[in-house]
């Protein structure tokens, strides 16, 4: 959405002000649900109200207050739209992970699986362990707001932290 002449929709979205993303100061994520708030900014009883926004971070729940700085530029004779909203859809991914494990190290498989469940809220589909080759296979489904590259990077980072070597990672 670009150059909005309507209020922000209360849906999961990314919001920009003058093309700069609104980022949560607490967790540094940028996915919000914005809501309109009407504020009486004049003396009490005058009933002059202005629209402000409150946006709730979808990662940590932190509230962010902001106004709409859109304005008319008299020098150029045009209206400058400041707020933009980009609606986000939740994506579903099927992931297949092949990783090396020693014959004695089933704790790594459990730890890695638990880490992915904690981070993504995954549904385990299938776990196959091939003891002869020292390779484990994990098939999972996740729903995420993130793009494939971010999901891949997060899985690789989690594996690295647990000292797991990934042989193959397929995301569909």
Q: What is the mean pLDDT of residues 149-155?
A: 89
Domains of the chain by range and CATH? 13-87 (no CATH), 91-171 (3.30.70.260)
Cα separation, 30 vs 13, whole angstroms: 8
- Please state the pTM of the whole predicted model: 0.53
Q: In angstroms, rounded to a whole number, what is the distance separating the alpha carbons of residues 100 and 75?
A: 65
Average pLDDT of 130-155?
79
Does the structure show a pLDDT above 90 at 1? Answer: no
Task: Give me the chain's average pLDDT, please.
Answer: 82
94's tokens: 């099927």
What length does the chain have? 172
Distance CA 101, CA 99 (A): 7
Check residue 18 and give its pLDDT. 92
Contacts of 47 (CB under 8 A, 6+ apart): 40
Measured CA to CA, the distance from residue 31 to residue 147 in angstroms comes to: 13
Residue with the larger pLDDT of the pair 1 and 93: 93
pLDDT digits (tens, 9 = 90+) for 2-57: 445 678 889 889 999 999 999 999 989 999 999 998 877 666 666 777 788 999 99
């Amino acid at each position: 959405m670009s150059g909005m002449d309507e209020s922000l929709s209360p849906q999961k979205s990314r919001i920009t002000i003058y093309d700069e993303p609104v980022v949560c100061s607490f967790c540094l994520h940028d996915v919000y649900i914005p809501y309109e708030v009407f504020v009486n900014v004049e003396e009490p009883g005058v009933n002059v109200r202005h629209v402000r926004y409150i946006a709730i971070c979808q990662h940590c729940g932190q509230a962010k207050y902001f106004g709409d700085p859109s304005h008319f530029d008299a020098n150029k004779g045009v209206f400058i739209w400041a707020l933009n909203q980009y609606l986000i859809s939740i994506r579903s991914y099927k992931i297949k992970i092949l990783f090396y494990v020693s014959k004695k190290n089933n704790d790594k498989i459990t730890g890695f699986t638990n880490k992915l469940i904690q981070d993504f809220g995954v549904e385990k589909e299938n776990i196959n362990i091939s003891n002869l080759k020292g390779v484990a296979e994990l098939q999972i489904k996740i729903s995420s707001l993130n793009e494939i590259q971010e999901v891949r990077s997060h899985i690789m980072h989690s594996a690295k932290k647990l000292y797991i070597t990934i042989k193959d990672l397929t995301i569909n």
